[in-house]
Amino acid sequence: MYETILVTLDGTPSDRAIIEHVKQLAKLAHSRLVLLHVADGWAARTYGPDAISPEIAEDTAYLRQVRDEFQSAGIPTEAELAYGEPADQIIKWVEKKRCDLVAMSTHGHRFLADVFLGATATRVRHSISIPVLLLRAK
């Protein structure tokens, strides 16, 4: 059903909800996973893949840790670090990796915060033509 699932991670405890859910889904659907974290700090936005910062090092280590967790569960998984605006990068990687499902945790911001700040999940789901699984973090 879902050959390739793009799992977005933001490096916070809210990731656990989507990680655990997708772990079960991927096993049932025999899916391959692409983990994506978008580094959007100053160094990442300014220098892109050439950025060197403690944040980038932490993000890379976190992605490896989560990738290894999925792989040890027998789920083929790759991890990608992107740079810049999260919604734009998620949309780009959906096409680049030919994903057929996007899985992401949401933080459950309040309506006004979403209106004025823009919600990544909302932008993504209105910009792609594949299903988006949104799981609200506790």
pTM: 0.88
Which one is predicted more confidently, 48 or 65?
Answer: 65
**What's the pLDDT tens digit per position in 66-102?**
999 999 999 999 999 999 899 999 999 999 999 999 9
- Asked if residue 52 has pLDDT above 90, the reply is no
CA-based nearest residue to 66, from 107, 20, 106, 133: 20
As a whole number of angstroms, the distance between CA 22 and CA 13 comes to: 15
Bridge partners of 134, per DSSP, are 104
3-state helix, strand, coil in the chain (%, to 5): 50, 25, 30
What are the chain's domains? 6-96 (3.40.50.620)
